[in-house]
């Protein structure tokens, strides 16, 4: 087999990577150390390349266990364990990392920031889940929420498939974009909350700014920018976006086990309450779904909230073993709004 050929710059990177790997061998003779010193002094570019090799290899070594194992599997395949001692295992890891450095760090950067397989995350009903993303950003999932994260060399993308999530985004050159049904939310250095109920989407900003636009529109039409303390709600029936001033604390009240609603259809309210309810709540009459509700639902007293609904809505609550059902009631006694 013919030996590989490299351009001059690549030959230096190649030699730096080889030296980095060889110096990890505990049995390296003193003569080799002298040769390494002579190589460093022969050309100022050699020391610079060796510094780059060391820095990149340290970054590779700091990768999480599954990523590191994949890296070594690619560039330092296992030999028979019977013929490999601790020193040889260490050198195998060094060789694997050196193979990455050999490409001048390009492969490492692609590995860290290149396209990755989508990763799905979900929380249980009435549960919360915290997710740490590879770039230092984080997502907090509300009950019965699911997201899919896709990271590439030029973008960080998350799809909110269902439910509610709070995003705290780490600053980076790559944009951070959340798609929630009909809306696309682009981070401009911020923390924000997104709730998706079918195609009804609410975005509330607690820090910084976001840009919200229709996900199917590649132009600027319909795009709005929101700062902290503002919220936009998309109504799938009217295709309109309503902007409100809000209390950032109230916008993320679900993190404190409270669900806040402002003039929302009862169908949307119940769908969100059901993400925390032991027994699903159903509506027997579709006309009831269009009633609007403003108020607070404590997630640990949902049954009490449902029992109080007949005080403000023309409904009757029927209780079954596996669900609660709201049916129309022609007469009712009004009382204070349920909490």
Q: What CA–CA distance (Å, rounded) separates 292 from 146?
A: 26
Q: What's the pTM value of the predicted model, to 2 decimals? A: 0.65
What confidence tens digit (pLDDT) does each residue in 5-61 have? 444 456 777 777 777 777 766 677 778 777 887 888 888 788 877 777 776 666 565
Contact (CB, 8 A) for 142 and 202: no
Q: Cα 77 from chain centroid?
A: 32
Domain ranges of the chain: 8-113, 119-251, 257-328
Rounded average pLDDT over 298-315: 94
Rounded average pLDDT over 113-132: 84
Instruction: Answer with the residue of higher pLDDT: 335 or 179.
Output: 179
Please name every residue paired with 319 in a beta bridge, in sequence order, or none if there are none.
324
Question: 119-251, what's its fold?
Answer: Jelly Rolls (2.60.120)
Contact (CB, 8 A) for 163 and 125: no
Please state which architecture CATH assigns to domain 257-328. Answer: 3-Layer(bab) Sandwich (3.55)
The DSSP secondary structure of 55-77, one letter per residue, reads HHHHHHHTS-HHHHHHHHHHHS-
Instruction: Answer with the residue of higher pLDDT: 247 or 32.
Output: 247
DSSP 8-state secondary structure symbol assigned to residue 187: E
What confidence tens digit (pLDDT) does each residue in 223-240 have? 999 999 999 999 998 888
Beta strands, E only, 153-190:
156-168, 176-180, 183-187
């Amino acid at each position: 087999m013919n030996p590989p050929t490299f351009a001059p710059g690549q030959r230096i990177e190649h030699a730096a990577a080889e030296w980095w790997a060889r110096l990890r061998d505990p049995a390296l003779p003193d003569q080799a150390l002298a040769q390494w010193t002579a190589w460093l002094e022969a050309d100022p570019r050699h020391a610079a390349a060796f510094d780059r090799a060391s820095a990149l290899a340290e970054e590779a070594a700091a990768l999480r266990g599954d990523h590191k194992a994949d890296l070594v599997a690619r560039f330092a395949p296992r030999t028979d364990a019977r013929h490999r001692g601790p020193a040889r295992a260490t050198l195998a890891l060094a060789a694997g990392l050196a193979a990455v450095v050999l490409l001048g760090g390009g492969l490492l950067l692609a590995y860290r920031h290149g396209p990755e397989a989508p990763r799905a995350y979900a929380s249980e009903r009435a549960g919360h889940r915290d997710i740490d993303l590879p770039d230092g950003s984080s997502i907090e999932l509300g009950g019965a929420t699911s997201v899919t994260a896709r990271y590439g060399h030029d973008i960080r993308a998350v799809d909110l498939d269902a439910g509610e999530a709070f995003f705290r985004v780490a600053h980076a050159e790559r944009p951070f974009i959340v798609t929630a049904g009909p809306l696309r939310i682009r981070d401009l250095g911020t923390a924000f909350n997104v709730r998706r109920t079918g195609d009804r989407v609410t975005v509330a900003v607690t820090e910084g700014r976001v840009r919200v636009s229709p996900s199917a529109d590649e132009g600027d039409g319909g795009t709005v920018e929101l700062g902290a303390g503002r919220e936009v709600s998309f109504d799938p029936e009217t295709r309109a976006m309503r902007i409100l001033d809000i209390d950032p604390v109230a916008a993320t009240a679900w993190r404190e086990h409270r669900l806040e609603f402002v003039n929302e259809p009862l169908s949307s309210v119940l769908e969100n309450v059901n993400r925390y309810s032991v027994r699903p709540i159903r509506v027997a009459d579709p006309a009831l779904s269009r009633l609007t509700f403003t108020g607070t639902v404590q997630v640990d007293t949902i049954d009490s909230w449902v029992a109080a609904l007949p005080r403000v809505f023309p409904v009757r609550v029927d209780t079954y073993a596996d669900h609660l059902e709201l049916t129309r009631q022609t007469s009712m006694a009004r009382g204070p709004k349920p909490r």
